[in-house]
């Protein structure tokens, strides 16, 4: 079992499901409300943990009652909270999520709260854990200094860095030069490269730009169009698996968390890509973000049936 470490966001999701999403100024009557654990960092670490990895998230939550949603989730999952600090001033991060029940698409607004307090010093305090880890994982729902510190420690201890560039923020190319695996979706890819990914040729052009920034491997996640892998020499196009989506919230997090778990286990890139795709495909068949992440036995069963690949 591999070990994964990195800074990440801890957010409580407030999710409403409705027959359709409202237009500006309109009120739509929803069908269901759910409150549960979320945040890109926490979602990805939950996915990796359920997929079999040992995880250490470096994060921050508030002191108010809402943080109990996250604390109960970590206790239930048996995930370490050793590097999660409690903010004295800021509230726990919150996400307002709208889900269209017809097509499972969503709209999200986040209020980061205590997540903004995770910076360079908080990551550096976990240096001993980096030395004993197999993969470093980060996103942009914490601060850029936290990402930079993660990359610096990962390079010091020769472990690969997976960066999910979400939500998009303008980032110096020097940061990308330290990234081993980048996992942007279509929107993030266009923001990073100026290329709208409508065709495979578009994906190749966007990947070439990203590889030119010094990133070693680029994996574009394209929703129901699947994913594409590029490393400058090898190209893998993986169609989406045929599943009935209930809620796409957290699908990208499931993919990245599954990828991190697979890489930490020592899987080759093609097997890791398939493992990540199975993780994401299973996650969209159930509601919620962290709660929707599948377990390793489920992923292994889908790997077997979809790709004929046996994993333990």
Q: Where are the beta strands (DSSP E) in the chain?
A: 3-7, 11-18, 32-38, 54-61, 84-86, 93-100, 106-111, 135-139, 161-164, 181-182, 217-221, 227-230, 235-238
CA distance 230 to 168: 20
Q: Is 253 a catalytic residue?
A: yes
180, 202, 253, 265: the active-site residue: 253
3-state helix, strand, coil in the chain (%, to 5): 40, 20, 40
Locate tokens 């090898």: which residue?
A: 234
Beta pairing partners, 36: 13
Assess whether the previous peptide bond of 264 is cis (omega < 30° from 0). Answer: no
Token duo for residue 40: 């890109």
SS3 call for 214: coil
CA distance 11 to 188: 21
Token duo for residue 241: 């698996």
SS3 call for 97: strand
CA distance 211 to 214: 5
Residues with catalytic roles: 253
């Amino acid at each position: 079992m591999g070990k994964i470490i990195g800074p990440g966001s801890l957010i409580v999701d407030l999710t409403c499901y409705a027959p359709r999403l409202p237009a500006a100024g309109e009120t739509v009557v929803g069908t269901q409300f759910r409150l549960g654990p979320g945040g890109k960092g926490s979602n990805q670490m939950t996915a990796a943990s359920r997929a079999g990895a040992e995880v250490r998230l470096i994060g921050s939550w508030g002191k108010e009652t809402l943080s109990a949603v996250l604390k109960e989730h970590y206790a239930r999952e048996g995930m370490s909270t050793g590097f999660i600090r409690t903010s004295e001033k800021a509230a726990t991060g919150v996400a307002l999520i709208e889900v269209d029940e017809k097509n499972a698409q969503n709209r999200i607004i986040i209020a980061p709260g205590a997540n903004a307090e995770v910076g360079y010093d908080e990551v550096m305090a976990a240096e001993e854990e980096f030395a004993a880890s197999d993969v470093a994982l980060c996103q942009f729902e914490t601060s850029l200094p936290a990402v930079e510190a993660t990359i610096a420690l990962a390079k010091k201890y020769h472990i690969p860095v997976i960066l999910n560039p979400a939500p998009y923020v303008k980032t110096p190319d020097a940061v990308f030069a330290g990234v081993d695996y980048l996992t942007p979706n279509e929107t993030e890819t266009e923001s990073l490269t100026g290329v709208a990914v409508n065709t495979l040729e578009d994906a190749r052009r966007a990947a070439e730009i990203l590889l030119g920034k010094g990133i070693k491997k680029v994996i574009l996640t394209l929703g129901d169009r699947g994913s594409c892998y590029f490393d400058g020499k090898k190209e893998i196009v993986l169609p989406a698996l045929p599943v009935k989506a209930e809620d796409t919230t957290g699908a990208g997090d499931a993919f990245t968390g599954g990828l991190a778990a697979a890489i930490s286990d020592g899987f080759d890139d093609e097997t890791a890509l398939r493992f990540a795709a199975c993780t994401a495909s299973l996650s969209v068949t159930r509601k919620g973000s962290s709660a929707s992440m599948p377990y390793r036995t489920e992923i292994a069963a889908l790997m077997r049936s979809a790709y004929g690949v046996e994993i333990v």
